[in-house]
Amino acid sequence: MKYLYDLHTHSTASDGTMSPKDLVGRAKQADVSVLALTDHDSIEGIAEAKTEALRLGIELVPGVEISVSWGPYVIHVVGLGVDPECELLQRSLSRQRELRKERAREMGRRLDKSGIGDAYDGAMALCNGRLISRTHFARFLVDRGYVDDTAKVFKKYLVPGKPGYVPGSWASLEEVVAWIKAAGGQSVIAHPARYPFTRTKLRTLFDDFKELGGDAIEVVSGNYTRDNCFTMARHAIDFGLMGSVGSDFHGPEHSRLEIGRMLDLPEGVTPIWHDWIKQDLAI
Ligand code: AMP
Ligand code: MN
Ligand code: MN
Ligand code: MN
């Protein structure tokens, strides 16, 4: 049977809807062999996921998806094979979560001004004391009937230029690559085809990332087209970066996409896992 990798998923430790335990169970059902849990700015779901993965006989890669301010833009960097005990990583992620709370308060104020009251309290209640994200605001707005679905909330309120959008001010690319390295992990540019960048801007990002010691880019991501995959494969090869694959699964109600169901990594790209046995990252 094919060895199936899914190296980008979310649980209730960030903005996913399944607990880490249930997420691992679903991955097992979907025949995933190696699963990375990569919650936004949090490694708090890893211990629970690891226990369940051991029980079910599936390989769990401890991961994280970190928000990065790159100039005026926000991008995401995935760390794979990070040591959850690393103090620098723990400290830095808790700082990111503090920044998320500050951003959430500002989002609440701005939404209030545009006629949507209680959004801060509502979103905070939905995140159950864990990390607060735009997704929680989106769910609150849908629950209150302001908009029909979360995709529309984003479009109307939560993206650049819209009333509830606050970019936030996250760590730099340099810092994030360094934290991941300090935690013994590998860094990956998450879903590069999704950024609203020109080809030149994207290549500047890959250049900066490579220079800083970054390892890979997501050549395959959940909602990529075949074209996206081949374009990102080309970039990976050009920059001497490895390729990663991840569904970016957030829960069954979030997308039609199943955990572990993605296009194959195009030929010619070095998979990020090619030397994992040697590095003792996951297996
Ligand atoms: P945050 O990290 O708090 O800024 O929230 C980013 C998260 O919001 C992403 O990881 C997605 O889960 C979600 N998201 C971003 N854009 C959209 C969109 N257009 N539709 C639905 N969810 C989105
Ligand atoms: Mn998310
Ligand atoms: Mn992301
Ligand atoms: Mn993600």
Question: What per-residue confidence (pLDDT) applies to 281?
Answer: 47
Chain segment 204-229, per-residue pLDDT in tens: 999 999 999 999 999 999 989 999 99
Question: What per-residue confidence (pLDDT) applies to 21?
Answer: 98
Chain segment 38-90, per-residue pLDDT in tens: 999 999 999 999 999 999 999 999 999 999 999 999 999 999 999 999 999 99
- The number of the ligand nearest the C-alpha atom of 133 reads 1
Question: What per-residue confidence (pLDDT) applies to 154?
Answer: 95
> Which of 133, 141, 159 to probe ligand 1 with, by most ligand atoms within 8 A of CB?
133
Atom of ligand 1 nearest to the CA of 136: 3
Rounded distance between C-alpha atoms, residue 32 and residue 255, angstroms: 18
pLDDT band, very low/low/confident/very high, at 198 (cuts 50, 70, 90): very high
Residue 78 Cα to ligand 4 middle (Å): 8
Question: What per-residue confidence (pLDDT) applies to 2?
Answer: 76
pLDDT score of 256 more than 80: no
pLDDT band, very low/low/confident/very high, at 257 (cuts 50, 70, 90): confident
pLDDT band, very low/low/confident/very high, at 254 (cuts 50, 70, 90): confident
* Smallest CA separation from ligand 1 atom 17, residue: 154
pLDDT band, very low/low/confident/very high, at 129 (cuts 50, 70, 90): confident
Rounded distance between C-alpha atoms, residue 56 and residue 155, angstroms: 39
Question: What per-residue confidence (pLDDT) applies to 53?
Answer: 97
Residue 221 beta carbon below 6 angstroms from any ligand 1 atom: no
pTM for the model stands at 0.96
Candidate from 68-77, 129-138, 188-197, 274-283 with smallest mean pLDDT: 274-283
Output the average pLDDT for the chain.
Answer: 95
β-pair partners for 73: 70
Count of all residues that appear for the chain in the document = 283
Cβ atoms of residues 61 and 46 within 8 Å = no
Atom of ligand 1 nearest to the CA of 133: 3
- The number of the ligand nearest the C-alpha atom of 253 reads 1
Question: What per-residue confidence (pLDDT) applies to 280?
Answer: 47
Question: What per-residue confidence (pLDDT) applies to 277?
Answer: 75
Dump the DSSP string for 64-99: EEEEEEETTEEEEEEEES--TT-HHHHHHHHHHHHH
Please name the amino acid found at residue 247: S
* Smallest CA separation from ligand 1 atom 8, residue: 135
Residue 133 beta carbon below 6 angstroms from any ligand 1 atom: yes
> Which of 18, 93, 134 to probe ligand 1 with, by most ligand atoms within 8 A of CB?
134
Instruction: Count CB-CB contacts under 10 A for residue 129.
Output: 7
Cβ atoms of residues 219 and 227 within 8 Å = no
Residue 15 beta carbon below 6 angstroms from any ligand 1 atom: yes
Residue 250 beta carbon below 6 angstroms from any ligand 1 atom: yes
Question: What per-residue confidence (pLDDT) applies to 282?
Answer: 47
* Smallest CA separation from ligand 1 atom 6, residue: 134
Describe the crossing of helices 119-126 and 87-113 by its angle, rounded to 10 degrees: 140
SS3 186: strand
Rounded distance between C-alpha atoms, residue 283 and residue 278, angstroms: 9
Question: What per-residue confidence (pLDDT) applies to 253?
Answer: 84
Residue 151 beta carbon below 6 angstroms from any ligand 1 atom: yes
Atom of ligand 1 nearest to the CA of 135: 8
What percentage of the chain has pLDDT greater than the value 70?
97
Q: Which of 89, 44, 72, 64 is nearest to 172 (CA)?
A: 72
- Quick one: how far is CA 257 from the chain centroid? 16
- The number of the ligand nearest the C-alpha atom of 8 reads 4
pLDDT score of 279 more than 70: no
Question: What per-residue confidence (pLDDT) applies to 41?
Answer: 98
Rounded distance between C-alpha atoms, residue 116 and residue 141, angstroms: 9
pLDDT band, very low/low/confident/very high, at 278 (cuts 50, 70, 90): very low
Please name the amino acid found at residue 23: L
DSSP state for residue 193 in the 8-state scheme = G
Chain segment 113-123, per-residue pLDDT in tens: 999 999 999 99
